[in-house]
Structure 1
Amino acid sequence: MTEQEYYDLTIIGGGPVGMFAATYARMRLAKTQIIESLDSLGGQVSALFPSKKIYDIPGFEGITGAELIARLEKQTMAFSPDVFLGETVKNFEKNELGFKIETTKRITYSKAIIIAAGVGAFEPRRLAAKNSSDFENKNVHYFVKDPQNFVKKDVAIAGGGDSAVDWALELEHIAKSVHIIHRRDQFRAMEGNVEKLRQSSVSIHTPYTVDSLDELEDGKLGLTLKKAKSDEEEQLAVDDLIVNYGFVSDTKILASWGLEMNRKTLVVDQNQQTSIPGVYAIGDIASRPGKINLIATGFGEAPNAVNNALVQIYPEKKQPTHSTQLIKNFESLNN
């Protein structure tokens, strides 16, 4: 392969952080491709919480996952990176010009790689209650695609993290009643939202877990709640149960790439570079001391990785000044 047939940057993962990395890379006039295993851009945000409000994006009081992805996709496509959907990177190998990348559909080449794979392949943590699988896709839900499905209904939410608390606060305004069930008295969500929860009309059941489910005569879902470290039980009748226990991820493919890992994440240095020179990682998949996993954090890591990768590829090029100048350069080249 000739140097002209290489991409400057290949971004593995088309979630929010991957899209912004592609946007910034194209602003720097880098020949860029995104490879995304799903059939659409958006990654975990689109798959897991498209309707959920996100509150840690600068400039927005609150924005749904779907709205955020739509805005990011519009921004990214304005800069025209090449986008390959429904395609998974199987492996890559170093060569004299960069990397040979094998996907499930083709062989491609790149001078540097930026991994923005989120948490890898993922699926929700299932409810451990007896016969819970009998109610999946009926009364038991692991994803909320449309909050309007719960209008004027009695809804229970199992979980104690940000998603569970956010959904409880969101549905409070449209549901007939909302109950939140958590195995501990202390919630793991953001303190401000936990305080809102305690001041809301949401019924809080702690420290309880969902022990079993039954279909009641009136079509309701009967929940038997068991108190932690006790034989005490509580009965609850609802229309729907939303389970927010987080998700489990599969990073087997990542582990096969020979990169240094910290549990299921990739170890990076201050330049976002992994243990293989020329391979960078950003977003939730990247691990370094003191890091907080927020989308906003990944947005900051993206230009850091792009700039450091391009310095390595083109050491003679000057570092960028600011976004206004980058836009002028991009527009002058594409007009």
Structure 2
Amino acid sequence: MSAPDELAVDLLVVGAGPTGLYAAYYAGFRGMSVAVVDSLPEAGGQVTAMYPEKMIYDVAGFPAVRGRDLVKGLVEQASQWNPTYLLGRRAHKLHTAGDGLRVVLEDGASVSARAVLVTAGIGEFTPRPLPSGEGWLGRGLVHFVPALDAHAGQDVVVVGGGDSAFDWALALRPITSSVTLVHRRARFRAAESIVRQAYAEGVRVMTDAEVVALRGDANDLLAEVDVAVGGDRVTLPAQTVVAALGFTADLGPIESWGLGVERRAIRVDTTMATAREGVYAAGDVATYPGKVKLIATGFGEAATAVNNIAVALNPGAKLFPGHSSDV
């Protein structure tokens, strides 16, 4: 559900990746009202942004699950409790307000919460710009592809040389009119096997090349791009450019919240509590001795954090929630 500019909930989850989505479900299960904020425009965090089409093999209960299907299931699981999503909105400042906390978003809106759970992966993700530095104010430039079908029949240009760039190119190739991958170097960061697969499946690959201009049509929709290759300039039809250049990861404003940060991670105790009262952390952003960064680990940490938050908010509540099969 959408949110007003002023919102009050029991728990604010900062980060809509798998850990945050599971925390939203679990908080609802424990009877809390929940809001989830994330700087990315789609739920799923790194999974949606970096590898939605890849198969994941180490999530309990799934011999194999595609990234986007895992996210879809987590969103559906949480939806029974009607969490409020604030996507494409960045958490900026944290204040103590009475007996609770108040998080001010970068756009000026605020969320009052009795507790805050930070599940922001390895930090907030800011898409890297195109190498040319040129932006595009119309529609057609994206940094990830949450729905492949939206690009069916299009001419697509993918910019980048890592695994994500090749993943997008291979996933889009069967449903698009054409896919061209543009990389400014002759060598790739992607695995050699996926590069060979792209060539074998007919993806056009342009190396030592750079997108230098994007042009739209009368409706301000992307129509074509210019690619500089050596001393030449090639014009390609393109209704979508996927800038798969990776993301700059950092904690952003969260680092100034007084949570106890070390090496871009937040120290937590056995309850997942941070150095600041009322604020907890779980998932890749949380650290403690022996920490293993896995999606499965994040799920357990989310449950641990939420159950301890439930007791903190209601001292009469039990830490153990009971078995969901008995509810």
RMSD of Structure 2 on Structure 1 (CA): 4.5
Contact 2:228-2:234 at 8 Å conserved across structures: yes
Q: How does 1:37-76 map to 2 (within 5 A)?
A: 37=37, 43=43, 45=45, 49=49, 52-56=52-56, 58=59, 59=62, 61-63=64-66, 65=68, 67-76=69-78
The range that moved more, 135-144 or 44-53, is 44-53
Show CA shifts across 1:243-297 (max 9, x none): 1112346744312311222454424456644334653212343356886766455
- TM-score, scaled to structure 2: 0.68
Indicate yes or no: 2:218 matched with 1:197: no
Structure 2 letter corresponding to 1:253: P
User: What residue is the counterpart of 2:21 in the other structure?
Assistant: 19
Contact 1:41-1:73 at 8 Å conserved across structures: no
1-structure distance, mates of 2:319, 2:215: 67
- State which of 108, 114, 125 in structure 2 corresponds to 1:109: 114
1-structure distance, mates of 2:117, 2:286: 10
Counterparts in 2 of 1:47 and 1:37: CA distance versus 1, 3 Å: farther
Structure 1, unmatched stretches of 5+, are 1-5, 226-231
2-structure distance, mates of 1:310, 1:37: 20
User: What residue is the counterpart of 2:79 in the other structure?
Assistant: 77
User: What residue is the counterpart of 2:227 in the other structure?
Assistant: 223
Show CA shifts across 1:227-254 (max 9, x none): xxxxx45654422232111234674431
Larger Cα-atom Rg: 1
Residue 182 of structure 1: how far off its partner (Å):
3.3
Contact 1:52-1:166 at 8 Å conserved across structures: no
Residue 117 of structure 1: how far off its partner (Å):
3.3
Show CA shifts across 1:114-165 (max 9, x none): 21234666442111316x32x5535644343553454444432111334312
Structure 1 letter corresponding to 2:274: T
Residue 74 of structure 1: how far off its partner (Å):
2.5
Residue 173 of structure 1: how far off its partner (Å):
0.9
Structure 2, unmatched stretches of 5+, are 1-8, 104-108, 217-222
Structure 2 letter corresponding to 1:239: P
User: What residue is the counterpart of 2:274 in the other structure?
Assistant: 274
Residue 71 of structure 1: how far off its partner (Å):
2.4
Contact 1:10-1:32 at 8 Å conserved across structures: no
1-structure distance, mates of 2:325, 2:101: 32
Structure 1 letter corresponding to 2:130: L
- The secondary structure found in structure 2 opposite 1:36 is strand
Q: Identity over aligned residues, as a percent?
A: 28
1-structure distance, mates of 2:276, 2:97: 9
User: What residue is the counterpart of 2:4 in the other structure?
Assistant: none
Q: How does 1:160-179 map to 2 (within 5 A)?
A: 160-179=161-180
Show CA shifts across 1:10-41 (max 9, x none): 533444322212333455xx343322236999
1-structure distance, mates of 2:237, 2:117: 44
Contact 1:214-1:223 at 8 Å conserved across structures: no
2-structure distance, mates of 1:293, 1:165: 25
Counterparts in 2 of 1:85 and 1:306: CA distance versus 1, 3 Å: closer
Alignment length, in residue pairs?
A: 300
Residue 102 of structure 1: how far off its partner (Å):
1.4
2-structure distance, mates of 1:214, 1:52: 26
Counterparts in 2 of 1:116 and 1:328: CA distance versus 1, 3 Å: same
* Greater helix fraction, Structure 1 or Structure 2: 1
Residue 100 of structure 1: how far off its partner (Å):
1.5
Counterparts in 2 of 1:142 and 1:13: CA distance versus 1, 3 Å: closer
Q: How does 1:144-159 map to 2 (within 5 A)?
A: 144=145, 146-148=147-149, 150-159=151-160
The range that moved more, 270-279 or 254-263, is 270-279
1-structure distance, mates of 2:292, 2:84: 29
Residue 183 of structure 1: how far off its partner (Å):
4.3
Structure 1 letter corresponding to 2:236: V
